[in-house]
Amino acid sequence: MAVITMREAISQAIWEEMERDEKVFIMGEEVGVWGGSYAVTKGFLDHFGEKRVRDTPIAETAIVGAAIGSALNGMRPIAELMTMNFAFVAMDHIVNEAAKLHYMFGGQMVLPLVIRAPGGGGRQLAATHSQTPDVIFAHFPGLKVVAPGTPADAKGLLKAAVRSDDPILYIENATIYQMKGEVPDGDYTIPIGQSKIQREGKDLTIVTYSKMVKYSLDAAEQLSKQGIEAEIVDLRSLRPLDMGPVLESFKKTNRAVIVEEGWRSFGVGAEISARIYEEAFDYIDAPIQRVAQKEVPLPYNSHLEQLALPQVEDIIQAAKEVMR
């Protein structure tokens, strides 16, 4: 298997799907001439042409609205938003149209739509450009929310998303575009809505996704040196949410730490914890711990920003707490 970056895996997935199906096209701010804000679509315009690589105005409502319209008319658009924070501008289109039209019209309409958007903090872009609002969008039935944490998953899940007839929000963490990993050769997809064991262990279960997969794996290696073997479950999708591997792991370890980059209040960790308490109460040996971002708008100052964001050491401390 080739070892490539997260950026390359995402780029390969889009390129291959555009080669495979002429109905697939990409649209967004600077996706053409500049090759994307994070260079994901570099070279696409020269190869596919301006009809299939469409630069748009700085208008997220127009981007998502036009993508919905084209999907309803048989195309398979990939709409790129420069950042997840700008998805709020197109909130009505995303949650009141894309997520609901198939249901409200009794299945007569399909929306094969992928909305790509990088999110997360750690780049000194200040409070309004550094949020991790994944759970907000996962709240709405009808919209699938995918957030991979490895290059292999990034490629396989994105190819599956493009081939799906459902509207899918595909979230990329902007600080791990350069992270490398093995990616299978050839054409492959990964089913959306299936969690994965990224590391086996026997002492506690760490449930996480996206960028925090890498942080959790790093924490697990340090814990292993202290005789604590953590099993890591990567959710990969927030909706649909696959709790099967989470519950199986928890019934083995009887302890859990939930790790997310977003804020703790009303977050992914709260949902996962509630489901464990509801469905595996008899297996609990210690209170579930949650690791998340501090409850503040993310600071611009780099030192304060890192203090606010969850770190590997926070995961280690939470793991030791549940092991006491």
In degrees, rounded to 5, the angle at the alpha carbon of residue 66 between the alpha carbons of residues 63 and 68 is 105
Q: CA 282 to CA 9: how far, in whole Å?
A: 41
Counting Cα atoms < 13 Å in the Cβ hemisphere of 217 gives 12
CB 231 within 8 A of CB 204: yes
Q: CA 126 to CA 267: how far, in whole Å?
A: 21
Task: Just list the catalytic residues.
Answer: 60, 129
Q: Residues with Cβ < 8 Å from 1, sequence gap 6 or more?
A: 152, 182, 183, 184, 185
Phi, psi of 51 (to 5 degrees): -75, -25
> Which strand ranges, in their side-by-side order, compose the sheet holding 204-208?
196-199, 230-234, 204-208, 256-263, 289-293
Q: Which two tokens stand for residue 288?
A: 């579930």
The count of other CB atoms within 10 Å of the CB of residue 227 is 8
Q: CA 120 to CA 69: how far, in whole Å?
A: 29
SS3 207: strand
List the end-to-end C-alpha distance of the chain, in Å, as a whole number: 40
Q: Which two tokens stand for residue 194?
A: 């299936």
Select from 231, 260, 259 the least CA-distant residue to 246.
Answer: 231
Q: CA 159 to CA 156: how far, in whole Å?
A: 5
CB 18 within 8 A of CB 24: yes
SS3 15: helix
